[in-house]
Amino acid sequence: MNAGRDALGELVRVAGRRSMPPQEDYEQVFEAANLAWQRKLRSQRRRRWLYAAAAALMAIGIGVTTFPHWMPREAAVATAVVLRGNAAILLARDDTWRPLQLGSAIPAGARVRTGANGGLAIALDDGTAVRVKEQSELTLESARALRLRIGTVYVVSGLGQSTASLRIETDIGTVRDVGTIFEVRAAPHALRIRVREGRVELDTPSQPARFESSAGEQLEVDPGGGVRRSYIAPNHPGWAWAETLAAAPDIEGRPLLQFLAWVARETGRRLQFQEPGIEVQAREVVLHGKTRDLAPLQALDLMLSTTDLEYVLPSDEVIVIRRRRE
């Protein structure tokens, strides 16, 4: 090993000391190397930009061929706000039913339908709530006109700013609301109307006179226009299906009393307080959180669990709010 190092040293001594190049040579070499490096860097950046642009153009091309099939061809008139089980939508001038998703915008001319285990609530653009029972099919002809082909819908109107009535057309007759809560059930050879609050008007092709129905009335209409009236209570079990599709109001920062009034209305019961001071407390308590996907009484359980209040149902007609008992 020592002999190898001695030979290398002897070779360096024989070659002698190398002369140093001038400073300008160093600068020229450095500048040339720097320019070459800058050109290479710009070339790499340009290639990356071209690749990104090509990918973007490809994505746009895919979007152009895909979006028109899904984009509504008409202005949206409603939004799906509650969905239970399966529901589907068929856009106007389309021939394929597709699954309806929660939050989907529903354009004019679209048809929606629910399956055997389905249930759907939609909010029209003026705030009117329309709940669709299982095995029903409905066409949204416009924001104020629906066609019920078969099945049952429940309507809560007067929630928004619009004063125009909602029209629901069926094969047997046309129902118009006058600020109310009502249900319409269409069958192949029958039409049934139930009014929970307010009143509705009914026109049938076979009868020149217009029928009216008020809260607590049920109308059963045959294909010939014959009408049979009967009584239905606001807390009748027949309304229960609609309660399960109720979209809870936004409670964040709202008084408890406002929420209690919503629960009472949804369940067809009167709201009572066991003591005057409890009503005052309900006005002062401010709620926080959400009650999504809960039926009204379930939501009430949840909201009152954070307070010293509870509710009892002494009958089918009343909700009583009282102090919690240990």
**Mode of pairing for the β-strands spanning 98-99 and 87-90:** antiparallel
Which of 7-21, 60-74, 184-198 has the lowest average pLDDT? 60-74
Per-residue confidence (pLDDT) for residue 159, from 0 to 100: 61
Those residues with Cβ within 8 angstroms of residue 185's Cβ, 6 or more apart along the chain or in another chain? 151, 152, 191, 192, 193, 194
CB 188 within 8 A of CB 222: no
Task: Retrieve residue 320's tokens.
Answer: 């009583």
Which of 4-13, 190-199, 201-210, 300-309 has the lowest average pLDDT? 4-13
Eight-state DSSP code of residue 234: T
Number of residues that this document lists for the chain: 326
CA angle 12, 14, 15 (to 5 degrees): 65
CB 84 within 8 A of CB 44: no
Those residues with Cβ within 8 angstroms of residue 105's Cβ, 6 or more apart along the chain or in another chain? 72, 76, 78, 79
302-317: average pLDDT: 92
Distance from C-alpha of 97 to C-alpha of 74, rounded to nearest angstrom: 17
pLDDT higher than threshold 60 for residue 82: yes
CB 158 within 8 A of CB 179: yes
Per-residue confidence (pLDDT) for residue 216, from 0 to 100: 96
Per-residue confidence (pLDDT) for residue 65, from 0 to 100: 37
pLDDT higher than threshold 90 for residue 49: no
106-121: average pLDDT: 96
